[in-house]
Structure 1
Amino acid sequence: MDEFWCVFDVEWPQNHPHLRDAIEQARQGGIELAISNPCFELWLILHFQDHGSWLNNNTARRLRQKLDRSDNKGIDAAIYMPLVRDAARRAEELDERHLRNGTAFPRDNPSSGMHRLLATIKHRRAT
Structure 2
Amino acid sequence: MRQRRREAKSLKRKVAHRPELRTIVVFCEGKNSEPDYVNGLKRLPEVADNTALNIEIHPKQGVPLTLVEMAADRLANPEVDECWCIFDVEWPKNHPNLSDARQLAQAKGIGLVVSNPCFELWLILHHREQTRHLSTAEAESMSRKLDGRAGKSIDAAVYMPLRKQAASRSERLEQRHVRNGTAFPDDNPSSGMHRLLRALERR
Q: TM-score normalised to the size of structure 1? A: 0.94
Q: CA separation in 2, counterparts of 1:72 and 1:105?
A: 29
List alignment gaps of at least 5 residues for structure 1.
none
Partner of residue 47, structure 1: 126
Deviations 1:63-95 (A, max 9, x none): 001100011321112211111111001000000
Question: Which moved further from structure 2: 66-75 or 41-50?
Answer: 66-75
Amino acid at match of 1:51: Q
SS in 2 for 1:6: strand
Partner of residue 120, structure 1: 199
Q: CA separation in 2, counterparts of 1:83 and 1:72?
A: 21
> Is structure 2 residue 133 aligned with structure 1 residue 59?
no
Bigger Rg, which one: 2
Aligned residues: 124
After TM superposition, give the deviation of residue 11 of structure 1 in Å. 0.6
Partner of residue 78, structure 1: 157
Which protein has the bigger strand share?
2
List alignment gaps of at least 5 residues for structure 2.
1-21, 23-80
Q: CA separation in 2, counterparts of 1:3 and 1:77?
A: 23
Partner of residue 69, structure 2: none
Q: CA separation in 2, counterparts of 1:14 and 1:72?
A: 22
After TM superposition, give the deviation of residue 3 of structure 1 in Å. 1.8
Which residue, 111, 127, 136 being the options, matches 1:32? Answer: 111
Which protein has the bigger helix share?
1
Moved runs in structure 1, 4+ residues, more than 2 A?
A: none
After TM superposition, give the deviation of residue 96 of structure 1 in Å. 0.7
